[in-house]
Amino acid sequence: MTDPVATFASAAGSFAALVHGIPADRWDGPGLGEWDLRALVGHASRSLITVSTYLQQPAEHEDINTPQQYYAMVNPAALGFAPAGIVERGRQAGRDLGAYPAATVDGLVSRVLGELSDVGDPLITVIGGAGIRLHTYLPTRTFELAVHGLDIARAVDISIALPADVLEEATALAARIAAAEGHGETVLLALTGRDGLPPSFSIV
């Protein structure tokens, strides 16, 4: 079995290295959707921030048992979040990166990895008030760092080689999310070259 803390640490280190490679003149350029690059990086950095935040919010009961169940229960539609609010949180996170985004991200990585070093696997409370084990939550953050790392690299047109453990965990989780949402057959046929995915298909 993989160590969710080690894989998350691998994803965090890869993300920090990617941010260091962003050219200085690209931060105000296009990112993803309504986000410019700074907002996209800021949004991705929240996968570090939320771990630190939720570690301070113990839970009394376990409501979410798997990473794929997290995506079914904790999503904007299920929680009633307006898309505009999500966009603005990304923009604010981008502003919070400050004048030296790479240094800020380095600090976030150092902080969260230090907090994870001897914390064990506690029950934590995530957005929406649900309880989840830390080791169940961390793969969702690895997934976000991997996917948004690819988004950032594509936006800036720079190369990224995700660590093998990160890529494997993120890809496997994507398949599990698809299966949990009733799209497992569609994804399996596409991955085995028997059919293509529908236009604009997404599991998140």
Half-sphere exposure of 152 (CA within 13 A, CB side): 31
158 part of a folded domain: yes
In a domain, 198, yes or no: no
**Backbone phi, then psi, for 123, in 5-degree steps?**
-80, 130
Quick one: average pLDDT of 82-91?
84
Domain boundaries, position 118: 4-191
**CB atoms near residue 101 (< 10 Å):** 21
Confidence of residue 83 (pLDDT cuts 50, 70, 90): confident
**Residue 204: predicted pLDDT:** 83
Element at 60 (helix H, strand E) = none
What is residue 79's predicted lDDT score, i.e. its pLDDT?
64
pLDDT at residue 78 in the model: 63
- pLDDT at residue 20 tops 90: yes
Q: Is residue 143 part of a domain?
A: yes
Q: Are 19 and 42 in contact (CB under 8 A)?
A: no
Q: How far apart are CA 29 and CA 36, in angstroms?
A: 6
Tell me if 141 is assigned to some domain.
Answer: yes
Confirm whether 203 is domain-assigned: no
Band (77; pLDDT cuts 50, 70, 90)? low
Asked if the structure places residue 202 within a domain, the reply is no
Asked whether residue 155 is assigned to any structural domain, the reply reads yes
Number of domains in the chain: 1
Contacts of residue 24, Cβ cutoff 8 Å, sequence gap at least 6: none
User: How many other CB atoms are found less than 10 A from the CB of residue 76?
Assistant: 11
Tokens of 38: 């700074």
Return the CATH number at 36.
Answer: 1.20.120
Give the model's pLDDT for residue 146: 98
The verdict on residue 201 lying in a domain is: no
- Judged against a pLDDT cut of 70, whether residue 70 lies above it is answered with yes
pLDDT at 76 over 80: no
